[in-house]
Amino acid sequence: MITDKGFAERWAARGDDRWGIVRQVYADWRTPLCAEDGISAERVSAAEERLGVHLPAALREWYEMAGARDDLRGRGNHLLTPERLRIDQDAGMLVFYQENQYVCRWGLRLEESDRSDDPAAYVAERGNEDWIAQDPTLSQFVLQMTLLETQFAAPFTANAAAPPKLIEEIGRLFEDLGLSWWHWPRYPGRRFAGPGGVGGHRWTGRRGGGVAMVGGKDCGNTRRGHAGFGSRIALSDRATRRTVVGTAPD
C-alpha cells in the first residue's frame, strides 16, 4: 500500500516502471485501473496533429492508461482532454493540467518534451507568466497530483492549523514521501502518508504558520492524523456530508 513504510525507497528504486505506484494508489483507494479507463490512442494522435507537436511518451501513456478515469482526479484540478490541450506560444509550454477555477495551470516545456520521454512539469499562476519547476518528471507530477486528489476524495478528510513548532509531529505520525515541494495553493507543501491516510501540509504565513490536511479511509485514522497538533480540526464525512469541528485527539 502507499501508506506502508519505505515508500521513498520504493519510488527511488522504481526503475523503468514509472506507473506502478500510481496504479497501486488507484487499487488501494478505489478500484484497479483497467483497459476501459484509458483514452484511445487515436484521440491522442489527433491532438498531436492539431497542435503540430509530438507528445512525450509519458503523457501518451497516462492518457491511454487512465485518461478517462476521474474518481481520483478532477476534485480540484483537471487533466485536460486531448481535445483541450493547448500551447502557450509565448512561454513555449504545452498546457495539460488546470485548476478548476483557472487559478493556475501546469505544463511541459516544448523544447524539453522533444528530447525526453518523461520531461519536467512546471506550474504558473493566473496573472503570472513565470513558469516554476514543479516536478523533475511528468510521472512524478502525476503521482503527486493523484495523491492530492486522493486526499480530497477520501471518505474522511480533516484540516487544522499547525504551528511551526508542531509541524514536526507530521514526521512522527506519517512518512515523508520524499517528493518535490508542492507549489499550489501555497509554497512550500509536502506530501506524506501513514496507515490508512494520505495528506500534505503547507506553510501559509510569513511567520511560518502552517495548515495540515489529511484524507483517511476511516474516522479514527483521520482524526489520529492530527494528533499532537493541539488545534481545532474540521473533520468531514463524505458519505453523510457532515463536518464536525473539534480538537485533535492525543
Q: Which three-class secondary structure state does DSSP give residue 243?
A: strand
Cell of 77: 484540478
Do residues 24 and 56 touch, judged by C-beta distance below 8 A? Answer: no
Residue type, position 178, single letter = G
Residue 208 pLDDT: 58
Residue 213 pLDDT: 79
Determine the Cα–Cα distance for residues 93 and 122; give it in Å rounded to an integer.
Answer: 9
pLDDT digit string (tens) for 95-130?
Answer: 999 998 888 999 999 999 989 999 999 999 987 779
Domains of the chain: 7-143 (3.40.1580.10), 154-247 (3.30.310)
Do residues 242 and 236 touch, judged by C-beta distance below 8 A? Answer: yes
pLDDT digit string (tens) for 64-79?
Answer: 999 999 887 766 789 9
Determine the Cα–Cα distance for residues 43 and 50; give it in Å rounded to an integer.
Answer: 11
**R_g of the chain, CA atoms, integer Å:** 18
What contacts 24+ positions apart, CB below 8 Å, involve 100-106? 100/74, 100/76, 102/126, 103/184, 103/185, 104/184, 106/134, 106/141
Query: Between the ranges 36-45, 164-173, 207-216, where is the mean pLDDT highest?
Result: 36-45
Do residues 124 and 92 touch, judged by C-beta distance below 8 A? Answer: no
Residue type, position 21, single letter = I
Query: Between the ranges 10-14, 130-134, 176-180, 181-185, where is the mean pLDDT highest?
Result: 130-134
Do residues 198 and 119 touch, judged by C-beta distance below 8 A? Answer: no
Cell of 120: 519536467
